[in-house]
Amino acid sequence: MAINYMTKEGYEALVKEIDNLEKVERPKISAQIAEAREKGDLSENAEYDAAKEAQGMLEMKIAKLKAMLAESRILDESKVDLSKVGVLTKVTVMNFKTNAKVSYTIVSEKEADVKTGKISAKSPIGLGLMGKKVGDKVEVKIPAGTISFEILEISLP
């Protein structure tokens, strides 16, 4: 079992998503199946087949999210090591290609959101930065080539 570290907010969002799927989406699909069943011959009922397939996909998603939740642990910000880049740290880097300072918060895959500066620890940039210290120069291979960074600061988000 691989442990998936998450922020408290990310963990709570995952719990909320599972709750919504079980209490809102599951009953909707059950109602669709019941409605399709009332229309007669199930062997030639496309609505019934579609609803059953949707039910299977939903149950698979619920099971996957529950497995992720079981493997998840909430990170305690007070125990985050700020001497190096790790999950739940905010790292400010100098991008040598663009001469721009950029900040990333390293999070779990489930919480990653590039628009808000949250990148997965398992993304190419996240992997390249993990374990590095202030002052380290890093070359990260990404699909578009290689990016060079210097780590300027490590802090809490």
Mean of pLDDT values over 34-56? 83
Average of per-residue pLDDT across 1-28: 89
Give me the number of domains the chain comprises.
Answer: 2
| Distance, C-alpha 128 to centroid of its chain | 18
pLDDT of residue 40: 72
Q: Give the end of a domain, one of 21, 43, 74.
A: 74
For position 42, what pLDDT does the model report?
Answer: 67
94 and 135 both lie in a single domain: yes
93 and 65 share a domain?
no
Q: Are residues 146 and 84 in the same domain?
A: yes
- Average pLDDT rounded to a whole number, residues 53-74: 93
pLDDT digits (tens, 9 = 90+) for 88-146: 899 999 998 899 999 999 998 888 998 999 999 999 999 999 999 999 999 999 888 89
Pair 81, 149 in one domain: yes
Structure confidence at residue 88 (pLDDT): 87
Nearest to 150 by CA among 85, 77, 82, 81: 85
Domain end call among 13, 41, 74: 74
Q: With bands split at pLDDT 50, 70 and 90, how would you rate the model's confidence at 1?
A: low
60: domain CATH number is 1.10.287.180
Q: What is the mean pLDDT of the chain?
A: 89
Q: Please tell me whether residues 87 and 57 are part of one structural domain.
A: no
| Residue 104 and residue 137 share a domain | yes
Which residues span the domain enclosing 69? 4-74
pTM to 2 decimals?
A: 0.68
Asked whether residue 123 falls in the same domain as residue 87, the answer is yes
Q: Could you tell me which residue, 15 or 39, shows the higher pLDDT?
A: 15
Q: Of 126, 7, 156, nearest to 72 (Cα)?
A: 7
Last residue of a domain, one of 28, 47, 74: 74
Q: Regarding beta strands 145-155 and 137-142, do their DSSP bridges make them parallel or antiparallel, or are they unpaired?
A: antiparallel
Residues 39 and 62 in one domain: yes
Residue 150 pLDDT > 90, yes or no? yes
- Tell me the CATH number at 140: 3.10.50.30
Same domain, 146 and 90: yes
Rounded Cα distance between 59 and 48, Å, is 16
- From residue 51, give the alpha-carbon distance in Å to each of 28, 43, 58, 62, 115: 10, 13, 10, 16, 34
